[in-house]
Amino acid sequence: MTDGYKYNRERELQRRFNTFLSDEFGLPKKDYYSNLDTKGFIGLKAFLSEINNILTMKATLSFVSWVSEKLGLDASATEEITKFALQAKPNSNGYDAWLGYPVAFVAEVKCNVPINGGLVYGTAQRQGIEKDLDGLLNGKRKARMLPHECLKFLVFLDLPEVRKANDHLASVNIKFRENVLFALNDTELSRTDIVYGVYI
C-alpha cells in the first residue's frame, strides 16, 4: 500500500473487537481488547458458544407466535408450546417445538447463516439441515412425537443470504427440493407428507 501500512492480524482483530463492542452495546470507544488477558478471552469464548442457543431460543419463540396465529391455536395451546420450548435443554434429542393437541406438529429451528458472508451453506451446516430434515420425515429415536401423521416445520432466520442458501440447497439436494415447501402467507397448512419451510 502507498501509505506504508502493512496488514497486522492482531491489530485487525483488535480493531474489529473494539468496534463491535462500542457500536453494538453503545460503549465508549476504548481498547477493550488490551484489557482482556487469556483467561478473559477464554471466558468470553465459553459464553459466546451459547450464542447459537440464544438465537435458536429467540427464533423458536418467534415461530411459536407464528404457528399459533397460523393454526388459530388458543392461549392454552400456545402456552404449552412456549413452556416446552423454554424448558427444553440445548442439544436435547427431541424437536425444538412440538404440540400433540389440538393440532399435532413438530418443528426444527435452524439458525444457520452461510459461512464467510457467502450465499451457500458450508458442509457442516448443510449436513445439519439434512439431518434435521430426515428427523422430521422419519422421526427421532428419543423424541416423544412421531412425525408421520402430523405437520412438520423447518424454521430458518429470515435473512436474504439464508434464502439464497436455501435456493442453492434446493438446486443441489433432491431430498430438500422434493420434501420442503416454503410456507407463504396464503399457504394452507394441511399436508403431512412434506415439511413446511418457514422464515422467521
pLDDT digits (tens, 9 = 90+) for 92-145: 667 889 999 899 999 999 999 998 778 999 999 999 999 999 999 998 876 667
Integer CA distances (angstroms), 62 to 5, 35, 97, 182, 198, in order: 46, 37, 11, 17, 11
| Contact call for residues 170 and 177 (beta carbons, < 8 A) | yes
**pLDDT averaged over every residue in the chain:** 90
The residues that bridge with 144 in the sheet, in sequence order, are: none
Structure confidence at residue 92 (pLDDT): 67
DSSP symbols for 18-41: HHHHHHHH---SS-HHHH--HHHH
Which residue type is seen at 185? N
Structure confidence at residue 139 (pLDDT): 86
pLDDT digits (tens, 9 = 90+) for 4-18: 668 889 899 999 999
Structure confidence at residue 50 (pLDDT): 85
